[in-house]
Amino acid sequence: MPLSDITARITAACRAAGRAPDAVTLIAVSKLQPPERVTAVLAEGQRVFGENYVQEAQRKWPGWRGEWPGVELHLVGPLQGNKAKAAVQLFDAIHSLDRVALAERLARVVQAEGRAPQLFVQVNTGAEPQKAGVLPDEAEAFVARCRTLDLAPAGLMCIPPEGDDPVPHFRLLGRLARDCGLDMLSVGMSADFEAAIAEGATHVRVGSAIFGDRPAKD
């Protein structure tokens, strides 16, 4: 689907929700996409991109950033502690702050690097044992712990369980964000970003609807 169709749908969803169109940031999730698909979207004017893997982003984006000024890069996949330094150096935002050990590692790296990406705390709204993220009833304490480390989370992120109606998860995340004094919600993907916008999403992560299906990872 052309990028222009996605941006038009975002604008329409914002208007339907009584929100300004610029209230929502579109993150074009380019993980594992062939280079020609990504550069085509860059050529259309998109400048905010999401990647799942630090090493893949390290290979791709330094060159593209040189060619396409103004790129903003978001890490939307899980972050291993041993890649915290590389992530802080490369990404403008990290959407997967999900455990105390990672918060402590990031705090040390941010202090050493003098650079602080925007941080989103990942919440496991479905309490799925196989999924990363702090549990909903632990979110407020976790955000408070981050603040004691001189980290300043900007918002919360969740990935609703596959097959669930996502709207209750979006609403839960919104309530938790308000309880934590946070303004930003990273929710909504290709299949449900309009519903997420209706529930207050400030960042939507759209991949396949823009780029098409991803090739399988080797």
Q: Where are the domains of the chain?
A: 3-211
Q: How far apart are CA 153 and CA 104, in angstroms?
A: 13
Of 90, 92, 116, residue with least CA distance to 103: 116
pLDDT single digits (tens) 113-160: 999 999 999 999 999 999 999 999 999 999 999 999 999 999 999 999
Confidence bin at 216 (pLDDT 50/70/90): low
Q: What is the mean pLDDT of residues 74-86?
A: 97
Residue whose structure tokens are 């935002």? 93
8 A C-beta contact, residue 11 and residue 205 = no
Of 159, 169, 203, 160, residue with least CA distance to 183: 203
Of 29, 79, 81, 28, residue with least CA distance to 54: 79
Average pLDDT of the chain is: 96
What contacts 139, CB < 8 A, 6 or more positions away? 121, 123, 156, 176, 179, 180
8 A C-beta contact, residue 146 and residue 155 = no
pLDDT single digits (tens) 169-210: 999 999 999 999 999 999 999 999 999 999 999 999 999 999
Q: Which helix (H) or strand (E) holds 74?
A: strand 72-75
**Residue 10 has what pLDDT?**
97
**Residue 213 has what pLDDT?**
83
Residue 83 has pLDDT above 90, yes or no: yes
**Residue 50 has what pLDDT?**
98
* Residue 140, token pair as written in the block: 């407020």
96-99 own/partner pairs: CB under 8 Å, 24+ apart: 96/120, 96/122, 96/132, 96/157, 97/121, 97/122, 97/146, 97/151, 97/153, 98/122, 98/124, 98/132, 98/133, 98/134, 99/132, 99/134
CATH architecture of 3-211: Alpha-Beta Barrel (3.20)
**Residue 217 has what pLDDT?**
56
pLDDT single digits (tens) 16-75: 999 998 999 999 999 999 999 999 999 999 999 999 999 999 999 999 999 999 999 999
Q: Residue 74 forms beta bridges with which residues?
A: 50, 93
